Chain A
């Protein structure tokens, strides 16, 4: 997944430099979105591991973190 972000960003940058502005924009934004998704995926993996171990208090903490991340998405939409 990490590699996918890097490849997309490199390809997008190459396209942008070549002057192909609109395919570049799509590729670059896809790369940035995947980049932003990687820590969230890592966090979800940690949650799965804690759930398997039956450590529900830590699962709850992780859920709060995910909820707060969703909160920052909401702030970016309507933000003050």
Chain B
């Protein structure tokens, strides 16, 4: 693999990192298909590389001052137990599945995600009365937009736990962060405001991806210099993306992403058949 491959991976990763930061998801859903379809890497190498970039993105978000303020550590710890368990099960099943099945699964999941995105184009989060009690797992934080402290309670905890297990499973199986499953779930059904949901998910994703990355790395399914190029690219991209994110028109980006994901899904499907 030559210089051009390294340059291409780095450049593409910068783009995926920026898109991921804009959308509040990792770049994994784009990176895995890119490595498989364009660089022609076997899917398990693509997954290993992608998981390493997920760790990098997660660290960038959760070490920032804004991230630290919004992370709900207790909720994160509780859900992380289920997520890492799901991730371990995913690692074991990944070995049993053929590349064709993995391609097919990736196609199905990306299609599902694009539908979720389309259905959430206009979703606005409801903020609870600040006088309310947050309960044991809930939280409160100062919100810049409204200029006051907001409080939230956790609803439907069992659902959040099941979702976390599934997210962890998909993460290690497909090399995505799993935030794409957890953020909408926590936000739409469990009462967590979108910013707290995204920050808490970012914190969890780093740990989940580490669980997966350890396994892929330990099995030798990582090409160090390509992984380095990918991680550096994603770091540059997500840094740039986070700065643009505040001003971006999220609705159009979501729409564009949904379309791109459908194309990705179709391409992966052709690989599966």
A binds B: yes
Chain B residue nearest to A78 (CB atoms) is B218
Please give, as numbers and ranges, the residues of chain B lying within 8 Å of A50 by CB-CB distance.
Answer: 73-74, 77
Any A CB within 8 A of the CB of B217: yes
* Residues of B with C-beta under 8 A to A72: 84, 87-88, 91, 211-212, 214-215
Which chain B residues border A32 with CB–CB below 8 Å?
52, 217, 222, 224, 227-228
Q: Which chain A residue has the least Cβ–Cβ distance from B10?
A: A13
Which residues from B are CB-within-8-Å of A28?
A: 224-225, 227-228
- Chain A residues within 8 Å of B227, by CB: 28, 32
Closest to B84 in A: A68
Number of B interface residues in the complex (CB < 8 A): 48
Q: Tell me whether A79 and B228 are in contact (CB under 8 A).
A: no
B188 is an interface residue with CB less than 8 A from chain A: no
Total A-B contacts with CB atoms under 8 angstroms apart: 134
Known: A69-B214, A72-B91, A75-B92. A10 touches B59 (CB 8 A): no
Asked whether any CB of chain A lies closer than 8 Å to the CB of B36, the reply is no
Q: Within 8 Å of chain A (Cβ to Cβ): is B139?
A: no
Q: A58 contacts B77, CB within 8 Å? A: yes
Q: Is the CB of B228 within 8 A of A68?
A: no
Interface residues of B (CB under 8 A from A): 3, 6, 52, 55-56, 58-60, 62-63, 73-74, 76-78, 80-81, 84-85, 87-88, 91-92, 95-96, 203, 206-207, 209-219, 222, 224-225, 227-229, 231-232, 235
